[in-house]
Structures are given as structure tokens and as C-alpha cells.
Structure 1
Amino acid sequence: MASLKEVKLKITGVQKTSQITRAMNMVAAAKLRGAQDKMEAFRPYTTKFNETMSNLASGDSSGSFPLMEEREVKKVELVVFTSDRGLCGSFNANVVKEAWKHLKKYEAEGKEVTLLCIGKKGFQLLKNTGRVREGYKDIMGKFQMFHARDIASNVSTRFLAGEVDKVELIYGAFHSVAVQRPAVAPLLPVVPHIPEGEKAGMSGDYIYEPSIDELMVTLQPLYLNVQIYHAMLEVGASEQAARMTAMDAATTACKDIVGSLTTIYNKARQAAVTNELLDIVGGAEALK
């Protein structure tokens, strides 16, 4: 059995850890409020942008749009979004596992797959696969729209040059504070996503000024920016929710450990007191 001093040191150490995890839980909860507000404010914009793109794509157009060109898929790029920091449970691991599953699926179909990692944790977990083309590290903590534009420019340049035939986004989607699940969304070629229950196509009789061709030339790059920024917002909120849940569980575990160690400490102290009493009684009996 461990000595009283050792058990007491363990109790003190676990109590200090509990203070840290409780503080991290409170910080994550505060950050989650801001991240969730930004994400929920941007979701309607994303939905309306998709609807507008769908209406335009189904209209009369005389031009061909390179970003919407569908061709035989031989090369695929997966853009994987994770956080820069850990201590958020299995959030990053689940996203990486989803990316790995899709990577293996495409390679089984004979396609060449490359990875573009957004976030330090994803880059660290996937860099040894040999498929990582580039990594954007240390941007998920304070990302802005210009980061999304840089990423969109990166992947669209390769798509237009024929270096990749298909691009997909893989990120952790925010469902609730307790639930964050990996999600996969197509990015290139541009195919506007239509929510379930809605029909693709023109929702009314519209006259566009300027022409659909001119609008599409401008809106397609913006569409990429919106989709990427939307994924980053989802990851930002999901990360804080996952960290809050993980730190809450860690704090509870610390309390349980302190309880167990306190019981051990009390038993050890009781045993020590009993031994001392036995020594005293034994000494007194010996003097008689």
C-alpha cells in the first residue's frame, strides 16, 4: 500500500488537474457561444447562396463554366478540416477517420488521392500517409474569410489546370453541443447543393441583369469561398463544443479519482493509527 504522503501528493495533483479542466471547460463554453452565433448566422446565407446558384445553373446559359466542368475522375483531392488544438475528445480523430475511409475508397477505385489539411491536428495525424500535398496550420484559431479565399484559390487553380478532377470537403459538422459528426461535401466541380425536400431549378420566372453567364463568372469563385468558410465555421463551433464536453468529463473523472484516493488515504491513516495503538498497548503490557 502506498504511504500516506504519496497518496496525499496524488490527491493534491488530481485536485490541481481538476481546477485546470474546470477552467478550460468554462473558457470553451464562453468561446462556444460566439462560435455558434457566427455559424448559425452564416448558415442561412449559405443556404440562400446555394439556392441562387441552383436557379442560375438551371437557367438559359450560352456559356461553359470551367469550374462546373464534369470530367472523368482520375485524381481526387480531399480538403480535411480539423482544429489546431487538442483536448477536445475524439473530434479530430473522427474527422481524420472519415478522411481515411474516403481515401481508401477512392484508391480502391484506382483513383489518385491527395490531401489538403486545414488545421494543425489533421496535418499531424495524416502527414505520415504520404498523401498530404499541403497543410494550412495555425489558422483555425482565428480564421477569417481571406483564409477561405486562399484555400479556394489553391484548389480551384489545380482544378482548372487539370491537376485534379474532383475536390471534396471533410469537416466536423455541428449538430448540437453534445453531437458533432464528420460531414462530406462536394466542392469541385461546382454543383450547388439542394437541401432535402426542395427541388432543383428555377423557383420562379426571373429576368437577370446582367446575364446569367456574367453572374456565374462572378458567383462561382464566391461559391467556393462560402462553402469553405461555412466548413471552417462548423469546425470552429464543433471544436469548442467537443472541448467543453471533454473537459466536463475530465473534471468529473478527477472528482471520482479524488474520492477513491481519499478513501485509500483514510484507510491507510486508520491502519497507521491502529498500529500505533497496538504498539502502545503492547509496550504497556510488557511493562507489567
Structure 2
Amino acid sequence: MAQTLEYLSRQNNTLGSIRGIVHTMKTLSAINAAPYEQAARSIKAYHRTILQGFATFAHRSGGIALDTEDVREQLLVVFGSDHGLCGSYNEILAEKVASHCQDQTGPQTGPQTGPPPRLLCIGAQMNDALRDQGLAPEAVLLPPASAEGIGRLAGDIVTRLARLGHGQALHRLGVTLAFTRRGEHGLREPVTRRLLPLQPSLLQRERRWHSRSLPDYSMSADALLASLIRSHIFASVFRASAEAMVTENAARLALMQQAEQSVDERLEEVQAEMRSVRQTEITNELMDVIIGHLE
């Protein structure tokens, strides 16, 4: 009986330590998500300015018809996690990516048909999930360790896209971003979003300008368009990375909340068993004293 009580005491101490770790992880997940959420809101506002720039350029230049039929390279950028303890976060997105790759190479007609896209992966855990789906990324990048690191990652990806496109990003390179975004009612959903070639609507002239002041620009049209495209790519990649970090921490927070509840329930069971064992020991000792006194 004493050995059982000793075992229960050790188990109670172990569960208490585990609960402390889980609680710390839950707190860190909640704290870490806030800066990434702020970064996502900030880049969204910046991106709106870039889209207004496209509208200004299209109105002033009369609109541009983009040729999207001659895409020779397809690149899929997948934003995942570098750490675990976030449930099936990476696996769900990897399944979405595998389905997207299957659609790209399936028996269909149109400009999407062709060789499978090249994969650029962010996060070691995401790399493992993709390989489980039979996909092999060409490169694995580190996700940002803080909100300040999102700009570093976005700049690195933009540089890689520029090298891959050989200066012909509009006509030679197709880029899709795959990440997990926040959905309704606190849910998360994996999405794939086409980045390049540009959506034709970006460079279509509006029939009527929304202001009495007509838009104009003084720099060369080619330089302005190139700057707008690069800024659009940077903002899109930045936002996808920020959304991925927000949802990763949200997934880890939800998992830690479930773990904390399970640990609490198990602690209650162990402590109840300990009280029962102690009471039994006390009762047995009292009976031994009483019997010894009677003898």
C-alpha cells in the first residue's frame, strides 16, 4: 500500500510539471500571436495602397493586356511551421498542396496543364508533411522567429522569384502561395492563392475614376510598373507569412488548451486516488493500534 502511495505521489508530481509546461506553452502561443496579427493588419493596409497604385497606372496608361499563355515555370511557395505541438496544422496544408499539384498536372486543358510546380517550403515540419505526400521541396527556409523577421523572409522569397523569373516574371513565371488563413468562427482553412501571373483585373482601366482629380505619374511607365509588381509580390508574401504565423500559434494554443484540460482531469483522478489510499492507510494503522491495545 505504501508503494502504491509513493507511485501516486510521483505521478502527481509528474503531472504537475507537465501542466506547468503546457500552461507556459499556452501563454507563449497567445502572446506570440499578437505581433503577427498586428503585422498582418499593417501589411493589409499597405497592400491596399499598392492596389490603388495599379489602378492609377491602368487609368493613366489606358490598361494593359497581360499574356498569361506562355508560363514556363511554376513555383509553389508553402508556408508551414518549424516546430511541432500544433496538431495536424502542417498535414492538412500538405494535403491541400498535393491536391493542387495533382490539378496542375492532371488531364485538363488550358495554360495550367504542364509539369508539376517546383516547391519552396517554409518550415522543417512542413517539409516532413510534404514528403509524406510524395512531394520534394527544392529548398526549405526558416520561418520568421518574430514579427520583424517576416520582412526578412518576404525579401528573401522576392529575391528568389526575381532570379527564377530572369526579369520576365509577368510572362514566364507562375507563382502560387499556399498557407493557412483565419476563417469564420475562429476556424482555420488551408488556401492556395495565385500571385503570378498578375490578375488581369489589376491592370484594367476603370470606366470612371473615383475622384475629380485625375491620376498621374512622372517617372517612366516601365520603372513604375516594375516597382508596383515587386511591391505587390512583397506585400502578398508578407501577408501570407503573417497569416501562417497567426494560425500556427492559434493551432498550438488550441492544442495546449486541450492538453491542459486533459492533464487537469488526470490530476483530479490521481489526487482522488491518493486521498483514498491515505485514508485506507490511516484506517489500517488505527485498527492495528486498537487491536494491539485490546491484546
- Structure-1-length-normalised TM-score: 0.80
Q: Which residue of 2 aligns with 1:135?
A: 140
Q: Work out whether 1:227 is the aligned partner of 2:257.
A: no
Conservation of the 8 A alpha-carbon contact between 1:22 and 1:251: yes
Q: Which residue of 1 aligns with 2:218?
A: 209
Please tell me the residue identity of whatever aligns with 1:244.
Answer: L
Is the counterpart of residue 125 in structure 1 residue 129 in structure 2?
yes
The counterpart of 1:189, out of the listed 166, 190, 197, is 197
Distance 1:218 1:91, change over 3 A: same
Tell me by how many angstroms 1:170 deviates: 0.6
- Match of residue 32 from structure 2: 31
Q: Which secondary structure state, in structure 1, belongs to the residue aligned with residue 117 of structure 2?
A: strand
Task: Decide which of 99, 115, 118 is 1:114's aligned counterpart.
Answer: 118
- Say whether the 8 Å CA contact 2:150–2:242 is kept in structure 1: no
Could you say what secondary structure the match of 1:132 adopts? coil
1:29-48 per-residue CA deviation (whole Å, 9 max, x = no partner) reads 22222222222122121233
- Which residue does 1:147 correspond to in 2? 153
Instruction: Please state how far the C-alpha of 1:268 moved relative to its aligned partner.
Output: 3.5
Give the secondary structure class of the aligned counterpart of 2:265: helix
Contact 2:59 2:215 in 1 (8 A): no
SS in 2 for 1:79: strand
TM-fit CA distance, 1:176? 7.4
Unmatched tracts of structure 1, length 5 or more: none
Distance apart, 1:169 and its partner CA = 0.2
Aligned pairs for 1:226-265 within 5 A? 226-265=235-274
In 2, Cα distance between equivalents of 1:226 and 1:136: 18
| SS of 1:106 mapped into structure 2 | helix
Aligned to 1:173: 181
Q: Contact 2:75–2:118 (CA<8 Å) still a contact in 1?
A: yes
What amino acid is the match of 1:27? L
Deviations 1:173-228 (A, max 9, x none): 1347943322221112122787xxxx964361433333543311222122211111
Distance (Å, rounded) in 2 between the aligned partners of 1:224 and 1:154: 12
- 8 Å CA contact 1:172–1:183 kept in 2: the answer is yes
Q: In percent, how many aligned pairs have the same letter?
A: 21
Match in the other structure for 1:41: 42
Task: Name the aligned partner's letter for residue 187 of structure 1.
Answer: L
Q: Work out the CA distance in 2 between the residues paired with 1:269 and 1:9.
A: 15
Structure 2 regions of 5+ residues with no counterpart? 108-112
TM-score normalized with structure 2 length: 0.78
Cα distance in structure 1, aligned partners of 2:67 and 2:159: 17
